[in-house]
Amino acid sequence: MAKSVGVTLSERVFTGLVVDHELSGELNRFPKDEDELGALVEMHTDAIVETICSQLVAAAGDTKLDAVGVAVPGLVKNGVVEEAPNLPQLKGARLRDLITAKLKEHGIEAPVTILNDADGVAAGLAASHGKLDSMIRVWTLGMGIGFGRYPFTPGVWEGGHTVVTLDEKETYCGCGGRGHLEGVMGHRSMRLRFLDMEPEEVFEAAKKGDARCLEFKKLYHRALAAATASSIHMAGTGKFFLTGPYVHFVDLPMLKDYTQQMVKMSPLQGYSLEIVEEKAENRVIGSAVSAEQAAGL
């Protein structure tokens, strides 16, 4: 029975002890105050590492750990955060080495795995839906747009930066790229696009028939459909989950209709789209499961 700690880093740090693919006890969270959600952006790398490790040690308690999984936003390769648009101070950080060294100071010598946060979500959903023997993909809708895949396969998988439009004016993506999915759907990007409205107000106005907001709602769903269709055409059919803090913006019938218009080959019709509630527990469990599998447990 594997005993691991899963950590997920986004607007908050969530940490929990996972035993046999299930959360044991309550989640630790930092910061606890809703008014301090921007705290991580203002912290330097060493402070973030210290925070992760202190939360991790608290979650582990006296348990001897088999593995530690830490999920972070951005492009991760071999334990190094190569790019992190939403937490730029992590760019270039050898996070696995930093966390491993800090944990040894606390007497914890379990192998540490660093993974993309959306991959952690995918693994968590696979575990909670009994699909650990299947391929699933997930879109996480938050400040940015994450694309996760389970089981883990080496690659970049920055699906949030899929090019979905050739419009030269589409330059809202946080990475600076043109025409990206995140430049349409990311919460930060929507705020830049609608300087006079919050994203929640945009979708509420679309319901009431506001022409500008309704047109954006269509663009929002066409963009997600295009990225999903591209994944289907490259990797085949399968299950797509949609989750994240802003998944409530998604009109599932509209998304399915646009996707159906873009995927016409009969062998590729066996895909499905499902919205699932955002739960930090799924992210933490997925991080732990990924770490266990990376350690060969």
Domains and CATH numbers, the chain: 3-117+283-294 (3.30.420.40), 123-275 (3.30.420.40)
Instruction: Grade residue 38 by pLDDT with cuts at 50, 70 and 90.
Output: low
Q: What is the pLDDT of residues 184-243, one digit of tens each?
A: 999 999 999 999 999 999 999 999 999 999 999 999 999 999 999 999 999 999 999 999
pTM tops 0.75: yes
| Closest listed residue to residue 240, CA positions, set 271, 268, 280, 264 | 271
| Closest listed residue to residue 45, CA positions, set 7, 85, 98, 86 | 98
pLDDT at 131: 83
Q: To which H or E segment does residue 110 belong?
A: none
- Type of residue numbered 53: C
Q: What is the pLDDT of residues 92-126, one digit of tens each?
A: 999 999 999 999 999 999 999 999 999 999 999 99
Mean pLDDT of 50-56: 95
pLDDT at 116: 93
Instruction: Grade residue 36 by pLDDT with cuts at 50, 70 and 90.
Output: low
Edge-to-edge strand ranges of the sheet holding 13-19: 22-30, 13-19, 3-9, 67-72, 112-116
pLDDT at 46: 94
